[in-house]
Chains A and B, each alone.
Chain A
Amino acid sequence: MTRSAWLALSLLLAAPLLAGGPLPAERELELRNLLIQDCGSCHGLRLRGGLGPALLPQQLQGKSADYLSLVILEGRPGTAMPGWRPLLSPAEAQWMARLLLDGTALGDKGT
């Protein structure tokens, strides 16, 4: 395989990661449900906090999508936050992190 073909292939593979999407629409629905219903068990159905902290944009100010997706994937040792890597891909965690940051996780606007 030529070098440019490798480059094209690796770009192709990395693209969904870098761009954070596109995820299949059906999967996005599942993730949104997961975010509200399952993350919501600890963080509140309206993300205003519970056993875990609130996850509204104002609480997340200054945190990047990369950082948040890392927390989602790896959890926070010493706390009740588990690592979700067995259940979520990095692209999916990124997508959820962005939903939290732009305040559309609750489904008021956006996709």
Chain B
Amino acid sequence: MKRSVAGLLLAALALPLFAARGTGDLGLVIERASGSIQIVETSGNTGIGRVEGLGDLSHASAVYSRDARFAYIFGRDGGLTRVDILDGAITHRNLQAGNSIGGAISQDGSLVAVSNYEPGGVRIFDSATLQLVADIPASYGQQLSSKVIGLVDAPGQKFVFALWDAGEIWVVDMSERGNPQITKFSDVGSNPYDALITPDGRYYIAGLFGEDGMALLDLWNLDAGVRRILPDYGRGEQKLPVYKMPHLEGWAVAGDLAFVPAIGRHEVLVIDMRDWRQAGRIAVKGQPVFVMARPDGRQVWVNFALPDNDTIQVIDTQSLALIRELKPGKGVLHMEFEPRGEEVWLSVRDENRVDVYDTASFARKASIEAQKPSGIFFTARAHRIGL
């Protein structure tokens, strides 16, 4: 009896970060230089723990298990790490490739997919054990291998991704776990650099770096194939240098309008989703990186590549006008809205801080120390398609 009490005490001392609590207001901040994540909570806006030993976290991203207790962190060095955010501990880690770029979790939560640069392709793992379930090399042409980008989950236990070198989009159906069904679309455009899926899981849209325009795939009508939209958004104009590749994960939808970064132009493009035509171009301060809608769709927040990465601009989605410019500090890399949008978190990398802003008053509400923070990921992503 005594021993088991002592055992229980010891177990309790094995430091879970909290007493019993939910995870709905938790999140994590990637600390890219130190290979750690900081666990944060959005009710009081504080940092509550740190997990170390996650490797090279440049360009790292995360998804959550359906119970929003486990985070899967995708590191640049090919490391896939499963973290228990309540215990503040790594449960599994798999150095599954040499160089990777991001990942996704399946509709039913049982599979985690990782997109890799080296060797190019997608690997799919069991989400509980991180054991390999399927290996899908991104081969094309004469034994060439492509880097893979823009990996998302889609309804029907699918994963969708694009091939940077090959200019292709692939859809993998994992309904039969041991028998992946791959549908490939070629000639979608030159150098797709990232992609997004609409919140309803219907449309997959890849941005193109090598040419103007975007590639659109209707997942409800795969037979219709991929079509090009906005093919000439900057025709005849000199492209400006792109010091940071834009991201498309933060799909910005407000009513029928979608907002995306232009490439090589200091503009946010507005797309009318009813006919996929350009509905406007909004001149902004620099090369947009993230263009993200507040969850209610009333505002769109934009951050920028160098040399304007100290600035945030806010667009009003009714008037399409810029309504605010903020200067949070040097190296504003990422934004994440709280699930209902009253506050937004910004990582200010070069000042080793994460700032929390009120999205109505634009006042800074809190500031949390972090080591070279980049991506911020809240657990609300667990229940959204494509995140």
Contact = CB atoms under 8 A, between A and B. Distances in A.
Interface of A is mostly: loop
Interface in A28-48: 33-34, 36-38, 40-42, 44-46, 48
Contacts, number: 69
A22 to B, nearest CB: 23
**A interface bracket (residues with beta carbon within 8 Å of B):** 20 to 34
Given A33-B350, A49-B117, A50-B99, A41 B147 contact: no
Nearest to A80: B209
Given A51-B164, A87-B243, A44 B99 contact: yes
Interface residues of B, number: 29
Given A46-B56, A50-B59, A50-B76, A41 B241 contact: no
A80 B57 contact: no
A42 B209 CA distance: 14
A45 B199 CA distance: 32
A86 interface: yes
A45 B244 contact: no
Interface of B is mostly: loop
A88 B350 CA distance: 18
B245 A42 contact: yes
A45 B57 contact: yes
B101 interface: yes
B241 A82 contact: yes
B164 A45 contact: no
Contact of A45 (B76, B245, B307, B350): B76
Contact of A82 (B101, B243, B331): B243
A84 B147 CA distance: 24
Please give me the 4 A-B residue pairs with the lowest Cβ-Cβ distance, nearest first.
A82-B241, A45-B58, A40-B58, A46-B56
11 contacts: A44-B99, A45-B32, A45-B56, A46-B77, A48-B56, A49-B117, A51-B117, A51-B147, A75-B241, A80-B209, A84-B241
Given A48-B99, A50-B58, 15 more contacts: A33-B350, A34-B306, A38-B243, A38-B306, A44-B58, A46-B58, A46-B77, A48-B77, A50-B76, A51-B147, A51-B245, A80-B191, A80-B193, A82-B242, A84-B241
